[in-house]
Amino acid sequence: MAVTGASLGLFAFNQINTSAFIHYGEPSNYKIHALNVPHEVVFAGETMQLEEADLRERMDKELLVNTYWQSNTILMIKRANKFFPQIEKILKEEGVPDDFKYLALIESGLENVTSSAGAKGFWQILRTTGRELGLEVNSNVDERYNVELATRTACAYLKKAKERLGTWTLAAASYNRGMAGIQRLLDKQQVDNYYDLLLGTETKRYIFRILAVKEIVEAPQRYGFFIDEAQMYAPLEYKTVKVDTAITNIARFSKQMGVNYKTMKLYNPWLLQNHLNNKSRKLYHIALPTETGP
């Protein structure tokens, strides 16, 4: 049988693991610890006791997954330091609890990713949902990638869900399952809260993923994460310029604004092409680094 690069890598990994645990017939000092599960959790001001075995095990699973997937969690903590100040400000202005920033964190890791269903951006908004809630989504502009506009759109959805379903926890669950889907389950099972619902795998994990990431980000050293302030990603600071005309060449426009094309696109990922059509003379707010520009 031919030994591929992947097989060779796996063989080496197993050899390293073996030597890590066994030294001259004796166990090494390398240890992996189980975690203490809190007795209660709070999401958006709503407290849930974790006395029931099912609830404790679901919380335990998400704490373990996020604690021991160290590289991913470190990156989430660093990106949270970069983007949370902007998101927190908007949540406060919109009257949505601060804890919903963790919903965005578990949805996307605060990256402009695309799901298998076509949801995009930090808040993983579907094309149809975005358009229904007022975002511009086409081949030239996709405002699902505009952090401010997408956050306000998510807030609009969440406030509507809270009004319909009664609690912020159910509103958060509906972000994954849909308002109608959660309402049908509540009616069918004759319960009135998320924690008493029998759910499919993804929605069953959803709130606990949020709670686990919140727990770790707010007390990282408790879970073994030691990140110096200098190692964090700096909070994003920017100013905006208003544009209500077409931009025929964004690379040239970027130079006029005192930045290069790459920086323009990093600060404005919603600009999909090297031009802005703007036939309707819509007013756009284009972000620029605070220390640059005319």
| Mean pLDDT across the chain | 91
pLDDT of amino acid 26: 58
Give a three-class secondary structure readout of 4-69: CHHHHHHHHHHHHHHHHHEECCEECCCCCCCCCCCCEEEECCEEEECCCHHHHHHHHHHHHHHHHC
Q: Which residues contact 152 (CB under 8 A, 6 or more apart)?
A: 90, 94
Q: Minimum mean pLDDT among 1-10, 14-23, 99-108, 195-204: which range? A: 1-10
Q: How confident is the model at residue 25 (pLDDT cuts 50, 70, 90)?
A: low
Do 187 and 170 contact (CB within 8 A), yes or no?
no
Helices 201-218 & 101-108 angle (0-180, nearest 10): 110
Mean pLDDT computed over 233-249:
95
pLDDT at 73 over 80: yes
Q: How confident is the model at residue 218 (pLDDT cuts 50, 70, 90)?
A: very high
Coil vs helix vs strand at 257 = coil
pLDDT at 2 over 90: no
Q: Report which DSSP code applies to 286.
A: E
Q: Is the model's pTM score more than 0.85?
A: yes
Phi, psi of 119 (to 5 degrees): -70, 145
pLDDT at 37 over 50: yes
pLDDT at 33 over 80: yes
Q: How confident is the model at residue 291 (pLDDT cuts 50, 70, 90)?
A: confident
Does the structural domain 40-231 have CATH classification 3.30.950.10?
no
Q: Find the length of the chain.
A: 294
pLDDT at 262 over 50: yes
Report the candidate in 121, 125, 109 with the shortest Cα–Cα distance to residue 209: 109
Coil vs helix vs strand at 246 = coil
Cα separation, 210 vs 103, whole angstroms: 6
| Biggest distance spanned by C-alpha atoms of the chain | 75
Helices (H) and strands (E) in the chain, counts: 11, 6
Do 279 and 154 contact (CB within 8 A), yes or no?
no
Q: Which residues contact 39 (CB under 8 A, 6 or more apart)?
A: 49, 50, 51
The strand pairing partners of 276, in sequence order, are 247
Mean pLDDT computed over 63-67:
96
Q: Report which DSSP code applies to 271.
A: B
- Reported as a single tens digit per residue, the pLDDT across 156-194 is 999 999 999 999 999 999 999 999 999 999 999 999 999
Report the candidate in 174, 43, 154 with the shortest Cα–Cα distance to residue 93: 154
Domain ranges of the chain: 40-231, 238-289
pLDDT at 13 over 50: no
Q: Backbone dihedral region of 112: left (phi > 0), alpha (psi from -120 to 50 degrees) or beta? A: beta
Mean pLDDT computed over 257-274:
97
- Reported as a single tens digit per residue, the pLDDT across 84-142 is 999 999 999 999 999 999 999 999 999 999 999 999 999 999 999 999 999 999 999 99
